[in-house]
């Protein structure tokens, strides 16, 4: 609530009404039924502003900011958790790019040639080429037994 609106309401509803009832000078000083008196009594004496502790604003502000900080920290932690896979993936992409940068054209051509030559092979041969030699030894011994 804004202070200006409190003042306005008091001025209209309380002070003016009293002035009219008692037929007094609405601008008289030191009278509780005058505008100033009404303002003083209704606004400054009874309002929460008058009764509040001197550091109420500071406390309230601190509370608000404490809540804000808590929410911000939660958001920050959740964000970290949420973005962790993304960051990890980005790291992998970066590593991949660095690896790609270190590969020469000759390497790529050689690799492609090798892959292409494998494509013309029997499917089983391609499978065996990618198996560890120790496994191939076992398989061969088994086949020749």
Partner 1 sequence: MSNALKIIEALGRHEDEASIDVLKDVGTNSEKEEIREATAQALIRKNSGKSLRILVADKGKGINDLSTRVALSTVNHLLELEDKATLMEVLGETIESTNCEEEIRNTARSLRALITLSE
Name the residues that contact partner 1, by CB under 8 A. Answer: 118, 121-122, 124-129, 131-134, 136-137, 139-141, 143-144
User: CA dist 32 to 4, 5, 50, 91, 111, Å?
Assistant: 20, 20, 17, 74, 97
Compare residues 2 and 123 and give the one whose CB is closer to partner 1: 123
Q: How far is C-alpha 126 from the chain's CA centre?
A: 51
Compare residues 69 and 111 and give the one whose CB is closer to partner 1: 111
CB of 71 to partner 1, least distance (A): 56
Compare residues 29 and 141 and give the one whose CB is closer to partner 1: 141
* Closest C-alpha among 5, 25, 2 to residue 15: 25
CB of 124 to partner 1, least distance (A): 5
Can you state the percent helix, strand and coil of the chain, rounding each to 5? 80, 0, 20
CB of 112 to partner 1, least distance (A): 16
CB of 70 to partner 1, least distance (A): 57
Please tell me what DSSP assigns to residue 68. H
């Amino acid at each position: 609530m804004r202070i200006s609106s409190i003042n306005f309401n008091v001025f209209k509803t309380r002070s003016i009404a009293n002035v009219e009832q008692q037929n007094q000078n609405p601008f008289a000083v030191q009278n509780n039924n005058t505008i100033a008196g009404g303002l003083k009594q209704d606004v400054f004496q009874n309002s929460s502003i008058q009764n509040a502790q001197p550091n109420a604003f500071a406390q309230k502000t601190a509370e608000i900011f404490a809540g804000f900080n808590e929410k911000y920290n939660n958001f920050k932690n959740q964000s970290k958790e949420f973005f962790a896979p993304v960051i990890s993936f980005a790291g992998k992409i970066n590593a991949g790019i660095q690896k790609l940068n270190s590969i020469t054209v000759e390497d790529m051509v050689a690799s492609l040639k090798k892959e292409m030559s494998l494509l013309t092979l029997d499917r089983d041969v391609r499978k065996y080429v990618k198996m560890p030699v120790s496994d191939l030894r076992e398989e061969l011994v088994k086949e020749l037994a």
